[in-house]
Amino acid sequence: MIARRIWRSHRFLRPFFVHPPTLMKWGGGSRSWFSNEAMATDSNSGLIDVPLAQTGEGIAECELLKWFVKEGDSVEEFQPLCEVQSDKATIEITSRFKGKVALISHSPGDIIKVGETLVRLAVEDSQDSLLTTDSSEIVTLGGSKQGTENLLGALSTPAVRNLAKDLGIDINVITGTGKDGRVLKEDVLRFSDQKGFVTDSVSSEHAVIGGDSVSTKASSNFEDKTVPLRGFSRAMVKTMTMATSVPHFHFVEEINCDSLVELKQFFKENNTDSTIKHTFLPTLIKSLSMALTKYPFVNSCFNAESLEIILKGSHNIGVAMATEHGLVVPNIKNVQSLSLLEITKELSRLQHLAANNKLNPEDVTGGTITLSNIGAIGGKFGSPLLNLPEVAIIALGRIEKVPKFSKEGTVYPASIMMVNIAADHRVLDGATVARFCCQWKEYVEKPELLMLQMR
């Protein structure tokens, strides 16, 4: 009985255990995610820290792209809070709780580690505790009041916090002149002047030389600029660095695309759906899948630790896409089971998502071989690096008319495309890649053979 009373009297002193945050998906195919665990720094006051949860296997950090809310906003359950980008995809983080945004911990462009607090929410708990944002006070269960600065630190925007950090100032010692004691940019600069901190003068538009004001706008164009790598660009650094440790060999071949050009023209002339744009790529992808059926080792991955080759059952063919956000390689799943029209639609969907930085994690994972269509931009020839753990990648040059000689010695025009296959020499030998390429070439040059064996 005594023990029970002691336990009840100390129930609010029990330690708060934080479980590693994980990510839950909701909305049936939606790209919105929420943390299934929240880290509450003060459960009695109704303040809950929302951490960056694990957004995918092997993801340790994300870049914060933008906020959908600001401090003081009310939020509903499942309402988007912010958008983050890992090295694989862009994801919306949503709220599990209904409440108000008490504190935003990061600014767009920040790199956030998994588990770090994204935002602090004020929610009403089961004991009806109340966070009063207008008076900047928290009413606790004991009836006493605490200033929010004791729990949250100084009230300010992320931009002001960053300014104070850059100047080496502890923002919590600054007296704010804004509403509810909020620290403003002017407060930070005033404090800096009073304490003798040196501010950055590079941003000033004019410099004084010999007593005369001289404009520095023209010369600023020649100054060095440091550009941090973010998102997909950071991922490219990692993957390409890993690829350089793998022994590559390259196989180059010409493919006559006269029949491919005629097939594309036929599709365009008989197209009844204005939303579909026919290109060369879907036929190249489907013919590649047909060749992979006969050469399964090209559609594999290599486990260096166990010295095992995993032959992939599905043909998940990736297509490298250059976007303003960086290089990304989404893949078309199960090409071996898709028609040309289905491949065309899926390729269009992935291109649209990539251009808008909205690819799902599922779109960029699980690839088994990659095509890099440099010819769409310009260039006859490319020498690609492997997209590990895949064992082959193919660079496609542009299709151009060139003169060719027939067996009889006559000259005729031909639509020629150069292809360069880079292969992992630990898994594939030159003869295998050569035979595979010849098979693929035959399907492209003679589409009737492709149609004959398609399922």
Q: Mind telling me the catalytic residues?
A: 425, 429
CA atoms within a 13 Å half-sphere pointing along the CA-CB vector of 227: 6
From 84, 119, 120, 95, select the one nearest 36 (Cα to Cα).
95
From 23, 83, 81, select the one nearest 56 (Cα to Cα).
23
| 108 preceded by a cis bond (ω within 30 of 0) | no
For 321, the token pair is 């896409």
Helix (H, G, I), strand (E, B) or coil at 375: helix
Alpha helices in 137-280 (DSSP H): 148-152, 158-166, 185-195, 217-220, 231-243, 258-269
User: What residues have CB less than 8 Å from 268, skipping those under 6 apart?
Assistant: 278
Angle at 362 between CA 356 and CA 368, to 5 degrees: 110
User: What residues have CB less than 8 Å from 108, skipping those under 6 apart?
Assistant: 64, 65, 66, 67
Residue that the structure tokens 């095992």 belong to? 308
Distance CA 76, CA 87 (A): 29
User: What residues have CB less than 8 Å from 437, skipping those under 6 apart?
Assistant: 251, 253, 419, 421
Distance CA 120, CA 153 (A): 12
Taking the CB of residue 442, how many other CB atoms lie within 10 A of it? 15
Helix (H, G, I), strand (E, B) or coil at 35: strand
Distance CA 404, CA 402 (A): 6
From 109, 81, 33, 83, select the one nearest 357 (Cα to Cα).
83
